[in-house]
Amino acid sequence: MRIAYLDGGAGLSGDMLLGAFLHAGVSVDLLRETLAALDLGATLEIETVDRSGISAVKANIVVADKPAKVAPHDHGHSHHPHEARSLSTICGIIEHATLPKPVRTTAIHAFELLGAAEAKIHQVPIESIHFHEVGAVDAIADIVLTATAAHALKIDAWHAAPFNVGRGTVQCAHGRFPVPAPATAELLRGAPTYSSGIEMELVTPTGAALTRALGVQFTPLPAMRVASIGYGAGSRNPPGFANVLRLSIGVAEASSSSEADTVTVLETALDDLNPQIIAYVTERAFELGALDVMCAPVFMKKNRPGTLLTVLAGREKAAAIEDLIFRETSTLGLRIREERRHILERRFVPVTTTWGEVRVKVGYRQGQEVNAAPEYEDCRRNAEARGVPLKQVMAAAMEAYRKEQP
């Protein structure tokens, strides 16, 4: 499993995360192609900078030859509608861009989190929240490019150390507030934070929203084989303070008890919801990283028929799925628990059949094969392409696998 670890001793912002990805080896061409697909009239410029002796990448989103950066907390209400974009407008821009679906899902979720935080603070409907024109371009770019990088690197789980939020005050659209800004504080609710005493705003609303959208889990550095490390620079360079975010990317190191695993179970019973919405929630849960989603018919109080919705997820994905269920269903409460499970070590073995290549998923226990089955999506694709029964492709895949075994 590929994992990423964030060292937030200098806080977190969208441009710092983007710079760290680029420094860790993400293709700048890929990110520029992504930015072009958004059609915002913006370009990506990168430079190598020094932050207290540490070489880091500074990522800049430029609109009309001017950096798009404005204070992230100016994303509140605008008194000039022609200079603002609503949440639905921004989500529409992302949804209609030619981007992989997981990228669009993560980016839209981050903006929904930003909008929900602002709406809660101001006690207004979420659609009345508007993002300032220039700030919106910058936030769209930071969020979508970060989602693109995470998707390209196939990062399965995000971990982070507690974030340093800084201290002092910050000027927001409605006045001066103590650090962290209100939207940042709302988005970081429940996350471990601290202040080292430096008089700066270190975590921005965009950075905080990305931690929620990516399902960051706050843990000590997990056992991992680090493959690449990137340093993303913040805009300011105070003396004696390395204003950089460190991003470590690698593969989780299996422990001696690798067959043991812990999952988060989210469960609720629904008796007043359109089944079409339940189907939609199921699809979105998988897009957000659910391990499995189950629906079972149940009888509830007063003998009303209902549906028991159960979602299994890794800890790092649970918060995003919890938000989804509360936002999209009619439930007033969720049962959330952690359960221990035993899983087989899994490998994919490619085999060649008359109908095309198929991966066979093989499960091992203590080094011995226990189960093997052809990957459904591979078989379905080949069956549709060749016009043959699905069961025939599945049987051919297993026959080819068995012939290749010693």
Confidence (pLDDT) at 259:
52
Assess whether 197 and 129 both reside in one domain. Answer: yes
The domain boundary, picked from 236, 252, 268, lies at 252
- CA distances from residue 171 to 68, 79, 176, 179, 314 in whole angstroms, order as listed: 18, 17, 4, 10, 37
Confidence (pLDDT) at 254:
57
- Tokens 């009888």 — which residue? 299
Confidence (pLDDT) at 77:
30
The domain boundary, picked from 205, 225, 252, lies at 252
Assess whether 111 and 229 both reside in one domain. Answer: yes
Distance (Å, whole) CA 342 – CA 86: 46
Confidence (pLDDT) at 315:
83
The number of angstroms, rounded, from the C-alpha of 76 to the middle of its chain's C-alpha atoms is 23
The answer to whether residues 267 and 311 touch, using CB atoms and an 8 Å cutoff, is yes
Assess whether 177 and 299 both reside in one domain. Answer: no
Distance (Å, whole) CA 167 – CA 154: 35
Per-residue pLDDT of the chain (406 residues; tens, 9 = 90+): 788 999 989 999 999 999 999 999 999 999 999 999 998 888 999 999 999 999 999 999 888 755 554 333 333 333 333 346 788 888 899 999 999 988 998 999 898 888 888 888 777 777 777 765 445 788 899 999 999 999 998 888 889 999 999 988 877 666 778 888 888 999 998 888 999 888 888 999 999 999 988 888 888 888 889 999 999 999 888 888 999 999 999 988 754 444 557 889 999 999 999 999 999 999 999 999 899 999 999 999 888 999 999 999 988 889 899 999 999 999 999 999 988 888 888 788 888 999 888 999 988 877 788 899 999 999 999 999 999 999 999 999 999 999 887 6
Confidence (pLDDT) at 65:
58
Helix intervals (H) in 214-300: 275-287
Assess whether 25 and 43 both reside in one domain. Answer: yes
Assess whether 338 and 362 both reside in one domain. Answer: no
Burial class of residue 164 in the structure, from the number of CB atoms within 10 Å of its CB (0-12 exposed, 13-18 middle, 19+ buried): buried
Confidence (pLDDT) at 82:
37
Assess whether 85 and 27 both reside in one domain. Answer: yes
Q: Which domain holds residue 237?
A: 2-252
Assess whether 337 and 353 both reside in one domain. Answer: no
With 0.75 as the threshold, say if the pTM is over it. Answer: no
Confidence (pLDDT) at 173:
65
CATH of the domain at 330: 3.30.70.1380
DSSP 8: -
Assess whether 203 and 351 both reside in one domain. Answer: no
Tokens of 101: 């679906």
Cα 344–Cα 348–Cα 352 angle in degrees, nearest 5: 145
Angle between helices 14-23 and 205-213 (to 10 degrees): 60
Confidence (pLDDT) at 216:
87
Confidence (pLDDT) at 51:
93
Could you tell me the sign of the dihedral formed by the alpha carbons of 185, 188, 193, 199, in that order?
A: negative
Nearest to 224 by CA among 255, 263, 262: 255
| Count of the separate structural domains present in the chain | 3
Assess whether 311 and 222 both reside in one domain. Answer: no
The answer to whether residues 262 and 268 touch, using CB atoms and an 8 Å cutoff, is no
The number of angstroms, rounded, from the C-alpha of 368 to the middle of its chain's C-alpha atoms is 35
Assess whether 171 and 289 both reside in one domain. Answer: no
Assess whether 387 and 329 both reside in one domain. Answer: no
Assess whether 56 and 170 both reside in one domain. Answer: yes
Distance (Å, whole) CA 117 – CA 186: 6
CATH of the domain at 383: 3.10.20.300
Confidence (pLDDT) at 80:
35
The domain boundary, picked from 291, 319, 342, lies at 342
Identify the H or E element spanning 194. Answer: strand 193-194
